[in-house]
C-alpha cells in the first residue's frame, strides 16, 4: 500500500505549498494529491491558489504520482478540464489521476449559475466523464444537455486515458460511482461508516477497482496544540455533506462551525500528539483494503508532521514504492 501527502491549497500560499509537497516527497511520502477549489471554507484558512497552475509547477519538479479532486462542470467546462489534465499528463507521463465530484456551491456558484439539485449534478458529472474520455481518445465531440460541447477535439492528448476516480463521502454516492468510475476516493470517517461506504462502492460495480482514502488527522507535539489547530482550521469541514454542499460563502461555513464541539470534531478528525496512536489508527484503516492512504494534517504544523511521520509512522505501515501497475 502507498502512503501519500495531501497538499491543502485552502490553507497555504502556492509557493509554500509547493515546498511542502517536495519536502514530503524527500521525506519518504510516496504520492501527492490536492483538491481544486476557488474559495477556502473559512477565512481562517485564508488561501486558495489555482490548483491546475500549481500542479504544472509540481509535475516538473516531482517524480511522484499526483491526483486532483475536481468538479468538471458549472464553473469549469469538461473540455477544458480534459485539456488541462492531458497537458499535465504530458508533463508527468503515467503519474496523473483525477477524482470527479459533484462539487460544492462554495466554488461552483461563482459564475452566477443556479445551484442544481444533486441528481441533476450527478447526471452532468457522468456526462462530463464521458466527454473527457472521448476527448482523450481522439474523438471530435459534440454534446448537448447540462453543458454544451461543439466540435471539440484535443490535439495534445495522453497516450492512454487518465484514470477518473469518483469522489464520494456517502454510501449512496459511492454505490452510484461504482458503476462508472475507475476507482473511489473517500475521506476518513468512523470505521463502521467507512466500511459501509467501501461496501456500497463494491456492490455498485466497483469491486476490484482502486480505492484511495484521504485520512484527516491533526498532529502536533502537544495534545492541546493538535486540538486547537484542528478546531481553528477544520471545524467548518465536519458539517454534514447535505448542508455543506449548498453553502456558498466562507462566512456561512464559519457561522455553522460555531456550534461544532471538540467531541464532534474528534469524531471526524484523528487528533493526537501521540505518534503511536496515529500508527494504530492508520493500521486500522489499512485493514479496510485501500490501495493508497493520503495523510492530511489539518492544522498548520506541516513541517513537523512531515518529518515526524516520515521517521516514526511511515516505516511501521510497511509502505512500498508504487509499481507501474499502481500508477493510477
Catalytic residues: 37, 104
Total residue count of the chain as it appears in this document: 328
Residue pair 151/143 in contact (Cβ under 8 Å)? The answer is: no
Taking the C-alpha atoms of residue 7 and residue 322, their distance in angstroms, rounded to an integer, is: 19
Residue pair 287/317 in contact (Cβ under 8 Å)? The answer is: no
Taking the C-alpha atoms of residue 80 and residue 224, their distance in angstroms, rounded to an integer, is: 44
Which residue has cell 466497483?
Answer: 206
Q: Which helix (H) or strand (E) holds 213?
A: strand 211-218
Taking the C-alpha atoms of residue 201 and residue 178, their distance in angstroms, rounded to an integer, is: 5
Give the angle 179-101-67 at the CA atoms, nearest 5°: 95
Which residue has cell 484511495?
Answer: 212
Chain-centre distance of CA 296, in angstroms? 10
Taking the C-alpha atoms of residue 144 and residue 304, their distance in angstroms, rounded to an integer, is: 50
Taking the C-alpha atoms of residue 124 and residue 110, their distance in angstroms, rounded to an integer, is: 18
Contacts (Cβ under 8 Å, ≥6 apart) of 187? 169, 213, 214, 215, 216
Taking the C-alpha atoms of residue 82 and residue 135, their distance in angstroms, rounded to an integer, is: 7
Q: Look at residue 180 and give its three-state secondary structure.
A: coil
Question: Which residues are registered as beta bridge partners of 70?
Answer: 100
Instruction: For residue 175, give Cα distances in angstroms to 199, 206, 227.
Output: 8, 8, 34
Amino acid at each position: 500500500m502507498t502512503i501519500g501527502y495531501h497538499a491543502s491549497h485552502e490553507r497555504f500560499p502556492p509557493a509554500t505549498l509547493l515546498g511542502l509537497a517536495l519536502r514530503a516527497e524527500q521525506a519518504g511520502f510516496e504520492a501527492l494529491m490536492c483538491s481544486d477549489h476557488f474559495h477556502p471554507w473559512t477565512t481562517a484558512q485564508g488561501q486558495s491558489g489555482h490548483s491546475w497552475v500549481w500542479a504544472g509547477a509540481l509535475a516538473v519538479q516531482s517524480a511522484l504520482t499526483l491526483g486532483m479532486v475536481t468538479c468538471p462542470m458549472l464553473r469549469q467546462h469538461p473540455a477544458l478540464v480534459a485539456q488541462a489534465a492531458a497537458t499535465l499528463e504530458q508533463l508527468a507521463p503515467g503519474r496523473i489521476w483525477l477524482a470527479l465530484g459533484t462539487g460544492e456551491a462554495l466554488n461552483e456558484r461563482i459564475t452566477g449559475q443556479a445551484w442544481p439539485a444533486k441528481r441533476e449534478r450527478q447526471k452532468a458529472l457522468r456526462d462530463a466523464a464521458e466527454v473527457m474520455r472521448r476527448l482523450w481518445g481522439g474523438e471530435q465531440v459534440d454534446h448537448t444537455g447540462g453543458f454544451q460541447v461543439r466540435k471539440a477535439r484535443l490535439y495534445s492528448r495522453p497516450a492512454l486515458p487518465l484514470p477518473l476516480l469518483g469522489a464520494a463521502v456517502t454510501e449512496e454516492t459511492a454505490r452510484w460511482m461504482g458503476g462508472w468510475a475507475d476507482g473511489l476516493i473517500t475521506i476518513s470517517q468512523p470505521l463502521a461508516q467507512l466500511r459501509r461506504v467501501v461496501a456500497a462502492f463494491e456492490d455498485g460495480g466497483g469491486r476490484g477497482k482502486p480505492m484511495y482514502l484521504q485520512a484527516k488527522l491533526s498532529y502536533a507535539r502537544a495534545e492541546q496544540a493538535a486540538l486547537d489547530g484542528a478546531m481553528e482550521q477544520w471545524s467548518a469541514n465536519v458539517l454534514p455533506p447535505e448542508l455543506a454542499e449548498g453553502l456558498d460563502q466562507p462566512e456561512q461555513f464559519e457561522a455553522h462551525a460555531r456550534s461544532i464541539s471538540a467531541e464532534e470534531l474528534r469524531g471526524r478528525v484523528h487528533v493526537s500528539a501521540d505518534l503511536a496512536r496515529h500508527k494504530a489508527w492508520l493500521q486500522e484503516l489499512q485493514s479496510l483494503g485501500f490501495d493508497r492512504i493520503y495523510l492530511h494534517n489539518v492544522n498548520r504544523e506541516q513541517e513537523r508532521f512531515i518529518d515526524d511521520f516520515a521517521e516514526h509512522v511511515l516505516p511501521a505501515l510497511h509502505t512500498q514504492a508504487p509499481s507501474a501497475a499502481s500508477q493510477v
